[in-house]
Amino acid sequence: MSTQPYRTALVTGASSGIGAAIVGRLQQAGITVHAVARDKDRLARLAEDTGCVPHALSVADHAAIAALAEEIEIDILVNNAGQSRTGNITNTTPDDIDALIDVNLRAVLHLTNLIVPGMVRRDRGHVVNISSIAGHYAFAGGNTVYHATKAGVHSLSQQLRCDLYGSHIRVTEISPARVETEVFGRLIGDMAEAKRRFFDEYDSLLPADIADSVAFAVLAPQRMNVSFMEVLPTMQVVGGLNFAKKTPGAA
């Protein structure tokens, strides 16, 4: 018989990839999952496959998210929804900056602000933030705004533990490296090319690996908080140092 106290979860970015895998994994654990994403058709298929409760809305729609938070009691909040862009700060657009901040950081803050007070009142809950190694490491080719938003999620996770000190509410940050999802295809506008370039010759993580990581943290004994988990493919490393050569004729 399970001794874990959680009955309900809310997972954002749930229609595909990591989010869909998390929904399925938590449903398997006997938790009723409210799946949030914009794609109504994909959510309907996910609900049919897993038994989750679908909510077709954008995490950037604060009014809709606030209304949902009023309707349901949530034990586990999984902040998974995210976007990225190509390029860096020298060639990004104001719209890209706003979109990444709205989805990757602002929505996470709003959802946390809406859901956590109920957890505090019940003294029961778990916040799981899916960040990225981009929030901890700088590397060439990464989108500057994406890195900044994920660093914000990391800082939020750390501070939230301080805010909840003395309660039985746990906070977990899971920071994946390369995972085989559609995000790369969306970035370059060609799913087949993304598969060839990023996955065919690499043994990347799969969405199920991150879902299992979430389940490990959530289903751990209540005395145990998995505060931070960095999940990398075995053949991928982080860090590194680049040194540009002098420009000819430079002083």
Q: Looking at residue 203, what is its pLDDT? A: 82
- The model's pLDDT over 120-148, given as tens digits with 9 standing for 90+, comes to 999 999 999 999 999 999 988 889 999 99
Q: Name the residues annotated as catalytic.
A: 146
Q: Indicate the pTM of the whole model.
A: 0.92
- The model's pLDDT over 58-75, given as tens digits with 9 standing for 90+, comes to 999 999 999 999 999 999
Q: Looking at residue 195, what is its pLDDT? A: 79
Q: Give the domains, in start order, of the chain with CATH numbers.
A: 8-228 (3.40.50.720)
Q: What is the rounded distance in angstroms from the CA atom of residue 214 to the CA atom of residue 40?
A: 24
Higher pLDDT, 9 or 141: 9
CB within 8 Å of 86: residues ≥ 6 apart: 143, 187, 188
Are the C-beta atoms of 131 and 150 separated by less than 8 Å?
Answer: yes
> Given CA atoms 95, 96, 97, 100 in this order, what sign does their dihedral have?
positive
Give the distance, in angstroms, between the CA of residue 205 and the centroid of all CA atoms in the same chain: 15
Q: What is the rounded distance in angstroms from the CA atom of residue 71 to the CA atom of residue 120?
A: 17
Percentage, residues of the chain above pLDDT 70:
96
Backbone angles phi, psi at 88, to 5 degrees: -135, -165
